[in-house]
């Protein structure tokens, strides 16, 4: 386990979800499992810190563990550039959408109140119960449900 972190800025609902589901209280950072798409992105795009790079203020940002990879010393390969961070955040968002689909798709053809289902989902994953978070997740769920319905209609 390395002592290094990458700091990213994500929407509140993602920050809260990651801190709830992937947070290591001992190291005070988010740690993803080996073999995940996140690990693949990190192993591909981590590089040596550019000369003269200064971290800057990381308060309010989400700390992500820089894992150790075979043949890559985290003392040297602990920097993720702007495009690498975008790829990382994109993968995190995709993982979240997959979670929504996996856990909520059972309700696609049910006569249930979506508002309550989404609030229950938020509660289960440590996401603050506020209108902004709810609306973001509701829209993701609706888009995924519409996509699933369209896919099933084609079959």
Tell me the per-residue pLDDT of 61-70, one tens digit each, with 9 for 90 and over: 999 999 988 8
Bridge partners of 65, per DSSP, are 5
**Domain membership of residue 140 as a residue range:** 5-154
Q: Number of folded domains in the chain? A: 1
Distance CA(55)–CA(64), nearest Å, equals: 14
pLDDT at residue number 55: 81
Query: pLDDT below 50 — which residues of the chain?
Result: none
pLDDT at residue number 126: 98
Distance CA(13)–CA(127), nearest Å, equals: 6
The count of residues in the chain is: 155
5: alpha, beta or left, given left = phi > 0 and alpha = psi -120 to 50? beta
Whole-number CA gyration radius for the chain: 18
């Amino acid at each position: 386990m390395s002592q290094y972190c990458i700091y990213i800025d994500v929407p509140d609902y993602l920050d809260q979800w990651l801190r709830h589901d992937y947070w290591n209280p001992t190291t005070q950072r988010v740690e993803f499992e080996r073999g995940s798409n996140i690990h693949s992105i990190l192993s591909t795009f981590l590089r040596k810190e550019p000369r003269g790079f200064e971290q800057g203020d990381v308060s309010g940002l989400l700390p992500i563990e820089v894992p150790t990879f075979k043949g890559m010393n985290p003392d040297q390969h602990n920097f993720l550039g702007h495009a690498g961070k975008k790829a990382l955040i994109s993968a995190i968002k995709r993982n979240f959408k997959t979670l929504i689909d996996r856990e909520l798709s059972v309700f696609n053809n049910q006569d249930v109140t979506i508002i309550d289902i989404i609030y229950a989902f938020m509660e289960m994953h440590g996401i603050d119960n506020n209108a902004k978070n709810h609306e973001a997740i509701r829209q993701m769920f609706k888009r995924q449900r519409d996509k699933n319905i369209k896919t099933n209609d084609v079959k």
